[in-house]
Structure 1
Amino acid sequence: MYKFVEGQPLIVTEKMKEDFWRDGYIIVKQLLTKGEIQKVVGSLEAPDSAVMAESYEQDDGFGRNVRMVLWNHPGNDVTGMVNRCEKMVNTCEKLLGDDVYHYHSKFVMKEPHTGGAFQWHQDYGYWYLNGVLFPDMISVQIGVDRMDKENGCLQVLRGSHRMGRVEHGRIGQQAGADLERVAEAEKVLDKVSVELDQGDALFFHCNLLHTSSANNSSRRRWAMICCYNSVNNDPVKKHHHASYTPLHKVSNSAIMDCKNLNDLSGKWFVNPNKTGREYLPTEPRKQ
């Protein structure tokens, strides 16, 4: 477990790389400051939040829903600054060993007592179907709220990324990994509950098997997940996530400096529950 020190660059050490490639993930404490989290949350909780206007519900296959909002191009609002800031992007690049571009990001919102579960899956389990040839991809989950076992935090099988891609099918509106394969993996790999405080970040490999249970607690469980692909791994076909688009990094201070809390110019949303809300990679959404 590592810690980001505000005002200093996040140095990715050889030990961090070693841990990432051995376990499939690392945790960086306080990647986002309390002020940065409050700014992001404020932009979402505002009655006129343009980002939340693009949210939708997804069936978990067991009678519950998870609310989500998903976008591809990061844009210039405060959530886009999180996607583009150096402490996020540079860390992904150092861990993968290549430059990256923004593949997509989302907020996952599990409300108290009602928020649904996510089935065991690998992100590359379905990104593979988008024409992405190699698992040279990484995701970063940020705790917007405190995330623990009680409210449905992420669970991972440590080292499962070394299994390669597992076959996936559909469970409700979600993609789920072959449960027989998962059961065998559980016999030989440690299952870890990834508990995060506000602002903590989990950097994880796209083949890491992970799941999360329903939120049966009285507390909200919101998370932001930012996903990146290697620039040398451009998908070979058009699909509903971003193909290679140069990522323009910003300084870490850009999150707090950003005044565009509701400006969606340059963003590209995907909402499967709305007709006409999926945009081709060559046609980013225009305001």
Structure 2
Amino acid sequence: MVSQNKPLSDGQLHHYHQDGYVLVKGFCSKAETEKLYKIALEDEAMGKNALDLNDQTGKKTRLSLWFTPGNDPFGYLVRSEKMVHAVGQLMGGESPVCHFHSKLMQKEPKVGGAWEWHQDYGYWYKNQFMFPDQVMSVMVALTEANRENGCLQVIKGSHKMGRVNHGFAGEQVGADMEMVDNALKTMDLVYCELEPGDALFFHSNLLHRSAANLSDHPRWSIIACYNTQANIAYKETSTAWKVPLQTVPNEAILEWEYESLSNADFLKKENDPALKDTGWEGDVKVN
């Protein structure tokens, strides 16, 4: 039974737990998506705080990452009832949903770099979150995502492998390619092609990657990452991950007055724990 407090069906929950992800078509309306994309392009704080991360070929992918959801349309989206209740369903609903961080992914035409094979928990393990089942990501497409412009690729069911060792791949963190190759022999590779407004909910241990954008069209998306309050992060200096979200009505995205992102607590590259060498990364083959 689908309701406002339980927006995902039993079938969608089954797909998430079985496959490690579930795609919800039209999660955001055309008007919501256009507003979010317009603000992403025009808000100076978003561009000013963007990080350039090189892949193994030197191509750059830009992302802007912030921790506390504010009173802006992105903050309203990640705190919206439809989003928070869906995430709560997928993570079990026993502990309040918190927001770990959000990031705007900006993959420009011809120059937008690849993301190597990885699990989000391959990064977040360094933050020492205890339970990977209680931390997850939601990607909302702001532009079309397809094979030509480097859409997300996932290995279906790979979240059941548990955490794979990760090392450095350029300025990114990449999964042990021997394990990735074995996973590709065992499970299906899926290209997650999205229309603007579609949302992909995925588990923190799902292996995924994206190719460089060699097309003439940009690929932009917002990825909101969530945690449950019961899932302690012993080495995370931000505090958003343990603050229960105060939901806002879905109509806030379009109808409420909003502020600039200039007051957001953006991540600085030098403060990213995922990029710090802990000593064992050099033993992991990532290419």
TM-score (normalizing by structure 1):
0.88
Q: For residue 122 of structure 2, what is the amino acid of its counterpart?
A: G
Tell me whether 1:36 sits opposite 2:32 in the alignment: yes
| Aligned mates of 1:81, 1:229 — CA distance in 2 | 17
Identity among equivalent pairs (%):
42
SS of the equivalent of 1:269 reads coil
CA positional deviation for 1:51: 2.3
Give the alignment partner of residue 204 of structure 1, picking from 202, 205, 213: 202
| Aligned mates of 2:257, 2:45 — CA distance in 1 | 14
The C-alpha deviation readout for 1:35-83, integer Å capped at 9, x for no partner, is: 111111121222x532222112111121100011000111111111111
The residue number in structure 1 matching 2:71 is: 76
Which range moves more in the overlay, 137-146 or 11-20?
11-20
| Aligned mates of 2:59, 2:34 — CA distance in 1 | 28
| Aligned mates of 2:257, 2:55 — CA distance in 1 | 36
| Aligned mates of 1:227, 1:38 — CA distance in 2 | 21
Give the alignment partner of residue 86 of structure 1, picking from 81, 94, 97: 81
| Aligned mates of 2:177, 2:160 — CA distance in 1 | 17
The residue number in structure 2 matching 1:194 is: 192
Give the alignment partner of residue 131 of structure 1, picking from 128, 132, 140: 128
| Aligned mates of 1:207, 1:17 — CA distance in 2 | 17
Which range moves more in the overlay, 57-66 or 196-205?
57-66
Q: Is the 8 A contact 2:62 2:106 kept in 1?
A: yes
The residue number in structure 1 matching 2:22 is: 26
Q: For residue 129 of structure 2, what is the amino acid of its counterpart?
A: V
The residue number in structure 1 matching 2:277 is: none
The C-alpha deviation readout for 1:209-257, integer Å capped at 9, x for no partner, is: 0000000000011111000011110212333574311211111001002
| Aligned mates of 1:40, 1:9 — CA distance in 2 | 24
| Aligned mates of 2:17, 2:201 — CA distance in 1 | 11
The residue number in structure 2 matching 1:279 is: none
SS of the equivalent of 2:242 reads coil
SS of the equivalent of 2:230 reads coil
| Aligned mates of 1:64, 1:165 — CA distance in 2 | 27
The residue number in structure 2 matching 1:272 is: 269
SS of the equivalent of 2:269 reads coil
Tell me whether 1:185 sits opposite 2:180 in the alignment: no
Q: Which runs of 5 or more structure 1 residues have no equivalent in the other structure?
A: 276-287
| Aligned mates of 1:75, 1:211 — CA distance in 2 | 29
| Aligned mates of 2:228, 2:5 — CA distance in 1 | 22
CA positional deviation for 1:100: 1.4
The residue number in structure 2 matching 1:104 is: 101
The residue number in structure 1 matching 2:51 is: 56
CA positional deviation for 1:273: 6.0
Q: Is the 8 A contact 1:104 1:241 kept in 2?
A: no
Tell me whether 1:262 sits opposite 2:260 in the alignment: yes
SS of the equivalent of 2:159 reads helix
Q: Is the 8 A contact 1:76 1:264 kept in 2?
A: no
Change (3 A) 1:203 1:274: closer
Superposed structure 1 runs of 4+ greater than 3 Å apart: 238-243
SS of the equivalent of 2:45 reads coil
Q: Is the 8 A contact 1:81 1:250 kept in 2?
A: yes
Aligned length: 268
CA RMSD of aligned residues (A): 2.0
SS of the equivalent of 1:89 reads helix
| Aligned mates of 1:39, 1:97 — CA distance in 2 | 31
Give the alignment partner of residue 227 of structure 2, picking from 221, 226, 229: 229
Q: For residue 102 of structure 2, what is the amino acid of its counterpart?
A: S
| Aligned mates of 2:183, 2:84 — CA distance in 1 | 31
Greater per-residue helix proportion: 2
The residue number in structure 2 matching 1:45 is: 41
